Structure 1
Amino acid sequence: MTATLSGPRSAEEFAGRRVVVAGLGVSGVSAARALVRLGAEVTVVDGGDGPAHRERASAARESGAAVRLGDGGTLPDGTDLVVTSPGWPPQSPLFAAAQAAGVPVIGDVELAWRLRGPGGAPWLAVTGTNGKTTTVQMLAAILTAAGLRTAAVGNIGTPLVDVVLADEPYDVLAVELSSYQLHWAPSLRPHSAAVLNLAPDHLDWHGSMDAYAADKGRIYEGNTVACVYNTADPATEELVRRADVTEGCRAIGFTLGAPRPSEFGVVDGILVDRAFVTDRRQHAQELAQVTDIAPDAGPAAPHNIANALAAAALARAYGVPPQAVRDGLRSFRPDAHRIARVAEVGGVTYVNDSKATNTHAAHASLAAYDPVVWIAGGLAKGATFDDLVASAAPRLRGVVLMGADRALIGEALARHAPDVPVVDLDRTDTGAMAAAVRAAAGLARPGDTVLMAPACASMDMFTHYGRRGDAFAAAVRDLAGGAEDAR
């Protein structure tokens, strides 16, 4: 099931409507609170009934919403509209009941877009299989450097509904959008948007790669100035070709090489713009040095250079001057667990990329280092690892495997990198990460990088990829302390 354009179209039209909000997460509680303020009769439903659900239910009830726990599949009588949280799959019984009753279903992003109104802040939107959060944060830093009131929002930070209803208006928003959110947002029309890359992910939710790509491509619909795509990923350009955009909207590529006209790229270590210049056939505008990208974090990995180019393209599409691109990239600080340098111990650099929860992200991370001792494994989520291992094999010094589905990676290593030493840790206890770091240290030589880029989800051993990254960083610090004590 997909969202439709029916239902209330402005803030005033929600008054008196009976609205069901699906899900008691952050976005669900935000939607419920806003809808109550607009005069809607709101019922929040959620299939869970644990302590955390009850605590959030209390907060929703305090705002004036009714809450029904333990039953997320029954549609209350008289419902006019369903607003879903992003994670609820289209096959959910609640949506089947809504479809049978002729009740429209929209997502929290669609709700925010409708509440935004015609005079609301423009949205510069970003999606992709990987790199969304980093790119949106880079974009927000650039917009801030240009003196604009902005925020990094959407699938990151503050819920969009809260932002569009804020008392102090924003000039422009940097919006991260997941495929889930785009699926339920049929009327979304950003100022400009970027699809960073496409690789198989969340196929259990979408049903197929084609459906996943189609939902990602929704971000380009109705763009007014620029559809930004990755020249190294033809699937992103194909989504631009399929999009129904506003007359005059342009396709803008980004590349790690020298750019052609209407592209952003890199020339002699300089990020340049050949799209938003007076004579793009003869002229390129210098924006920043590659070394300007989060300089405190160390040398920028190739995929973060690509992220910076995409952010720069969206900012320039909005009219930001070149100096603001440079200043914004200099001020940007990456989140923890994303290519985060932890320490150097005995001439070996230890890098935490716990956020690399799929093969596409791990591929980008591995491509940034040579030689590398790779710590990998966890929950594979149906992924296969042959392509990843085959591409990384020439740069692998060794591999340490851990987690529930480590054997899948081990089998790929046996096929494509049989000479690479592998340590297989058959344990999932709290000390497993420390053992993995010690094993990696035993494989590494001075000048190497020990990289934790698991290519898998963390929930077999940790509640969140952040906890996994924290455990890695703590183990590295312990290793560093032990090395210091041994002197």
Structure 2
Amino acid sequence: MGSRKVTSSEPLDWQGKHVTVAGLGVSGIPAAKVLHARGANVTVVNDGDDARAREQAAELEALGITVRLGDGATLPEGTELVVTAPGWKPDKPLFAAAREAGLEIWGDVELAWRLRGPDAAPWLAITGTNGKTTTTQMLASILKAAGLRTAAVGNIGVSLLDAVLGDEQYDVLAVELSSYQLHWAPSLRAHSAAVLNLAPDHLDWHGSMEAYAADKGRIYEGNRVACVYNVADKATEDLVREADVEEGCRAVGFTLGTPGPSQLGVVEGILVDRAFVEDRHKNAQELAEISDVNPPAPHNVANALAAAALARAFGVPARAVRDGLRDFTPDAHRIAHVADVDAVAYVDDSKATNTHAAEASLAAYESIVWIAGGLAKGATFDELVAKSAKRLRGVVLIGQDRALIREALARHAPEVPVVDLDRTDTGAMLAAVQEASRLAVAGDTVLLAPACASMDMFANYNKRGDAFAEAVRELGS
């Protein structure tokens, strides 16, 4: 972990500057409007040319912004800066042309960072393959419990541009950042930041696991107070070691075990801090009980510890950590208890759209009937099944790529009964829940943790979770 002094960038003169905004949508449209309002000559380019895009284009053109639909590959003549939607892949021809011309390419996060005022609220930043949203919301809840003006922003909630440029005055921001956003945010410098975990994801976008990890690691660059990492995930600690930070910035670990000095962890059901206390080699501060974490599944306790570490780095008292965790309510479809039917618990973790998330979900229960399957996105399932086999009473498979999971079960859990539903219609979820109920006995958990994306059967993971909850209600009626 190298050290350096980072200074903020000088305010930019946008008047007459030719800026190309790549992509309409949730980040492109606000960016175009903000830049136009500052006097820039803005051209928006967009690959699509459908009815929705034409409607959005008309809104921008009414303001005097130029929009080119169906041509996201060509760099407009005279461009001095490119601002891109985070999801645009780095290998697009537009970016190759921009790099060849020596132009900078910013994402919406970089734009927000550059536009913030001299008295702007510091950022506590969070990334990781799984748990980002929950941890960011937990952090915001803790900060609010400490009486601080804050918001959960970035990849969730309030947009960063709105947070930075709006009338609301914040003391500190809890910022969720995706690997895409970090890729396009070269000058971001957080007060403190956390990488929760690293597992293969979005490799089609990044090109390799190494490139994906490097983009995640950008969140630590220039940190002032603390780089928070996961003791159980060495790759996150490696990113801290490689980061170039401000003088005095510390590496702070979180662990589900007993914490060492400069770590937060768990001792006899208590979340404790041995990082932000006097004489951390001898002392520990009690922060909260595991029962204060909702839900108290192991991976969610890890999320809580990461949120607590960032809050403590900002000087939040221990009591606010406890109160904030108690006040926190997780979003739907994240290990949500739906109902108990005949002494069997039914749990919706439809948000578990990859193997890493499903592994964490499966680790939270002792005896499980697992409902899994969907779009695998190139994933393999051997490691997941091998680690979880001893917890499985039965498995119900749905979705397009269910055969991949069935084959892994045959290799690593051949004794576990499997129901393979050869269906991808939305009604398959009711059949899946009925089959799961037949496999389950009192004390079991029927767990929807698909380890796959939902789009083969449902519009999104929310709709999939809703279908599961409706099927459970029908089962219990």
Instruction: Identify whether the pair has TM-score above 0.5, normalized to the shorter chain.
Output: yes
Report if aligned partners of 1:145, 1:324 keep a CA contact under 8 Å in 2: yes
Other structure's SS at 2:315 match: coil
The within-5 A match list for 1:443-458 is 443-458=439-454
Give the Cα–Cα distance (whole angstroms) in 1 for the partners of residues 437 and 59 of structure 2.
47
The within-5 A match list for 1:248-259 is 248-259=248-259
Q: Deviations over 1:29-78 (max 9, x none)?
A: 11111111111111211111222223333333344422221111111111
Q: Deviations over 1:99-153 (max 9, x none)?
A: 2222221111111110114421100000000000000000000001111111101
Q: CA deviation at 1:9?
A: 5.3
Give the Cα–Cα distance (whole angstroms) in 1 for the partners of residues 192 and 458 of structure 2.
37
Other structure's SS at 1:26 match: coil
Match of 1:197? 197
Look up the equivalent residue of 1:397 and give its one-letter code: R
Match of 1:78? 78
The answer as to 2:278 corresponding to 1:278 is: yes
Structure 1 segments unaligned to the other structure (5+ residues): 1-7, 482-487
Report if aligned partners of 1:152, 1:176 keep a CA contact under 8 Å in 2: yes
Match of 1:20? 20
The answer as to 2:335 corresponding to 1:310 is: no
Match of 2:5? none
Q: CA deviation at 1:288?
A: 0.7
Give the Cα–Cα distance (whole angstroms) in 1 for the partners of residues 459 and 46 of structure 2.
21
1:394 to 378, 390, 393: 390
Q: TM-score, normalised by structure 1?
A: 0.95
Other structure's SS at 1:460 match: coil
Give the Cα–Cα distance (whole angstroms) in 2 for the partners of residues 221 and 72 of structure 1.
31
Look up the equivalent residue of 1:468 and give its one-letter code: R
Report if aligned partners of 1:375, 1:453 keep a CA contact under 8 Å in 2: yes
Distance change in 2, residues 1:183/1:285 (3 Å): same
Other structure's SS at 1:14 match: coil
Moved more, 62-71 or 20-29: 62-71
Q: CA deviation at 1:354?
A: 0.8
Report if aligned partners of 1:34, 1:162 keep a CA contact under 8 Å in 2: no
Distance change in 2, residues 1:372/1:478 (3 Å): same
Give the Cα–Cα distance (whole angstroms) in 1 for the partners of residues 306 and 64 of structure 2.
42
Q: Deviations over 1:456-485 (max 9, x none)?
A: 11111112111111111111111111xxxx
Q: TM-score, normalised by structure 2?
A: 0.96
Distance change in 2, residues 1:393/1:63 (3 Å): farther
Q: Deviations over 1:341-368 (max 9, x none)?
A: 1111111111111111100000000000
Look up the equivalent residue of 1:135 and give its one-letter code: T
Report if aligned partners of 1:23, 1:45 keep a CA contact under 8 Å in 2: yes
Match of 1:376? 372
The answer as to 2:437 corresponding to 1:431 is: no
Q: Deviations over 1:164-189 (max 9, x none)?
A: 00112211000000111111111000
Give the Cα–Cα distance (whole angstroms) in 2 for the partners of residues 441 and 58 of structure 1.
52
Q: CA deviation at 1:10?
A: 5.2
2:402 to 399, 402, 406: 406
Other structure's SS at 2:245 match: coil
The aligned length equals 470
1:351 to 347, 372, 393: 347
Match of 1:170? 170
Match of 2:4? none
Match of 2:214? 214
Other structure's SS at 2:253 match: strand
